[in-house]
């Protein structure tokens, strides 16, 4: 199985990152990389099959006061979260290997 993150731009003009069909082995790193690559003031909309609460806690621990996390939709099979970068950030983990085999 290929666990490498894509090298091409992740977000299109719609700013949506739909990770529902992406294997867990790369999903977490892809989300982190997407956030880290944002410019201050930019956002993306994360679409997932469940509420990514552990990811919110990781963002809060690694980059406190540097983002907003706004739920746009909470359905049993689809959750949409708008994540906006408020301040410059530095990676504290390597996105490709950040979720400990999760």
**Owner of token pair 């944002």:** 38
What confidence score (pLDDT) does residue 77 get?
Answer: 92
Q: How many CB atoms lie within 10 A of CB 80?
A: 16
Residues 15-69 pLDDT 10s = 999 999 999 889 999 999 999 999 999 999 999 999 999 999 999 999 999 999 9
**Is there a domain that residue 98 lies in?**
no
Residue 90 in tokens: 């530095």
Range of the domain at 73: 16-92
Determine the Cα angle at 41 with ends 71 and 100, to 5°: 60
Identify the CATH number of the domain in which residue 55 sits.
Answer: 3.30.110.40
**Is there a domain that residue 2 lies in?**
no
The total number of structural domains in the chain stands at 1
Distance CA(60)–CA(27), nearest Å, equals 18
Q: Which residues does residue 46 pair with via DSSP β-bridges, in sequence order?
A: 17, 81
**Is there a domain that residue 75 lies in?**
yes
Distance CA(88)–CA(82), nearest Å, equals 17
Q: Is the pLDDT of residue 92 over 80?
A: no
């Amino acid at each position: 199985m290929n666990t490498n993150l894509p090298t091409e731009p992740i977000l299109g003009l719609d700013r949506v990152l739909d990770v529902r069909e992406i294997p867990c082995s790369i999903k977490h790193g892809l989300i982190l990389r997407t956030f880290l690559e944002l410019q201050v003031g930019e956002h993306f909309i994360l679409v997932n099959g469940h509420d990514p609460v552990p990811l919110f806690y990781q963002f809060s621990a690694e980059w406190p006061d540097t983002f907003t996390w706004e739920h746009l939709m909470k359905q049993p099979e689809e959750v949409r979260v708008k994540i906006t970068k408020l301040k410059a950030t530095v990676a504290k983990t390597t996105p490709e290997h950040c979720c400990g085999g999760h």
